[in-house]
Structure 1
Amino acid sequence: MHLRICALLAIVIVGLVGAQASPEAKTVLATNNEGVAVTYGSVLKLMHDTTNGRLHASDIRYNAGGPQYFVVTGHRGVVNSDSYWVVKPVEGSSLEQGDLIPNGSVVRLQHMRTNNWLHSRSFPSPLSRNLEVSSREGQDEDTGDLWRLELVDESEVWMKDRKIRLKHVVTGSFLHSHEMTYVRVLPRQMEVCSVGEESVDNVWLASEGVYLQAGSAATPESVEK
């Protein structure tokens, strides 16, 4: 099953590369191997460091704030294809697919199946009453989709299996998960929210995926907070 998913992702990434990719770009299927850079255009799963849950987009809509916001959870299933996200630069950027992503870069995460954007806003999350995290439907530009990369270790660029935090540009809060789980609608899936303070529960790692590799380094985009 996992090999079939990887094969499908390889086909997807070829379509993503297109004319915008760097000439040197190539793809790397990554499961357990280390030393692989996360680049723009890579399709990956984000694994929560303390729970091992994968950042997961559901088809369940939030009740408040409009019909375009869908619940995001932490899912412990390794082979679930709804945990794949495409790493994108900010709208209008000159960065190309295959470019490296330095510390401090502002990125967007687009859900592979639905094309929704990882999003946060000043609504309370359902379980912990922190800030809500959702996948937002729509292709219009929205600053609520912007996340700043913070590398936890001393790496210069984002690497697979290295600890990171994602800080929401608008609210200043960190992408966060914990052992608090849904019971009825999304049983045993963990809440994903955003919180204002750094903790071990807002550390993530890029894990399974298809990583688009190239030789050029990108410059962090400047986005006003």
Structure 2
Amino acid sequence: MMEIRCSYLVESLVFLLFWLKCEGKETEFKDVTCGSLIKLLNTRHSVRLHSHDVKYGSGSGQQSVTGVESADDGNSYWQIRGKPDHPCRRGTAIKCGQAIRFTHQKTGRNLHTHHFNSPLSNHQEVSAFGENGEGDDLDVWKVECDGIHWERDDEVRIKHVGTNVFLSVTGEQYGPPIRGQREVHGMHSPNQHNWWQVMEGVFIQPSQDPFHHSAHHTEL
């Protein structure tokens, strides 16, 4: 357990330094890639996918996932990773329909859903789960997009592999301690509430991968 934790923290720190160096610089690389650190905007409600070390008071009691209007909140960064048994190489383009995980950069927990009701809308609860980037098979999602690869300008749907719900926002707002943040939940039907687009982020290319040539690289 200590080896996994140290590996995760070391890679996160190096990645953070790389992000600080590259933040704000434009890239011509159009695809969303494995290892990239991104913010996702729900285009219907104009909120970014967000999490924080605040647990649900009902349902699973796991770390809550919400939507926030602010574009500057550091708790809205998610790292794209492969499945636990099928890691993706940093910098490789994510294919439409590929099974991936979204790991919250600040807390190291994965975007997750399961058969609990969400607290406001009674749709399916979406949480952040796991420790140091490792959770279970309910952390796996796939991106529904046109074409071969997920491109940064695409509006996409994000579908949960285990329960077949779409990552969605319908506008319900929380009170204290997270007043004004929107509920994020899973819905079974594809509709206008489950369109997402990549906004701010760092998009890793193979030539930029600080671990690409390391023989001791442990895939996140």
TM-score, length basis structure 1: 0.78
Identity, % of aligned positions:
31
For residues 93 and 134 of structure 2, the distance between their equivalents in structure 1, rounded to whole angstroms, comes to 25
For residues 14 and 33 of structure 1, the distance between their equivalents in structure 2, rounded to whole angstroms, comes to 14
User: Is 1:48 paired with 2:59?
Assistant: no
TM-score, length basis structure 2: 0.79
| Aligned with 2:188 (options 170, 189, 196) | 196
For residues 162 and 177 of structure 1, the distance between their equivalents in structure 2, rounded to whole angstroms, comes to 18
SS at match of 2:16: helix
User: Is 1:115 paired with 2:119?
Assistant: no
Per-residue deviation, 1:163:
0.6
Equivalent runs, 1:1-225 vs 2, <5 Å: 12=16, 14=18, 29=23, 36-64=30-58, 69-138=62-131, 139-151=133-145, 154-214=146-206
Per-residue deviation, 1:31:
7.9
Per-residue deviation, 1:33:
7.3
Q: How many pairs were matched up? A: 194
Per-residue deviation, 1:59:
1.9
**Structure 1 counterpart of 2:200, which letter?**
E
Per-residue deviation, 1:183:
2.1
Per-residue deviation, 1:72:
0.5
SS at match of 1:201: helix
Q: Tell which has more relative contact order, 1 or 2 (C-alpha 8 A, sep 6+).
A: 1
For residues 125 and 43 of structure 1, the distance between their equivalents in structure 2, rounded to whole angstroms, comes to 27
Unaligned segments of structure 1, at least 5 residues: 1-8, 16-26, 216-225
SS at match of 1:212: coil
Q: Do the aligned partners of 2:52 and 2:107 also contact (CA within 8 Å) in 1?
A: no
SS at match of 2:125: strand
For residues 104 and 42 of structure 2, the distance between their equivalents in structure 1, rounded to whole angstroms, comes to 17
Alpha-carbon RMSD across the aligned residues, in angstroms, is 2.6
Q: Once the two structures are superposed, what CA deviation does each residue of 1:5-57 show, in whole Å capped at 9, x if it has no partner?
A: xxxx9952749xxxxxxxxxxx9656887762110000000100111100000
For residues 89 and 46 of structure 2, the distance between their equivalents in structure 1, rounded to whole angstroms, comes to 30
Question: CA, structure 1 residues 34+128, in 2 after alignment: closer, same or farther (shift >3 Å)?
Answer: farther
For residues 141 and 181 of structure 2, the distance between their equivalents in structure 1, rounded to whole angstroms, comes to 23
Per-residue deviation, 1:86:
0.2
88-97 or 199-208: bigger deviation: 88-97
Per-residue deviation, 1:178:
2.0
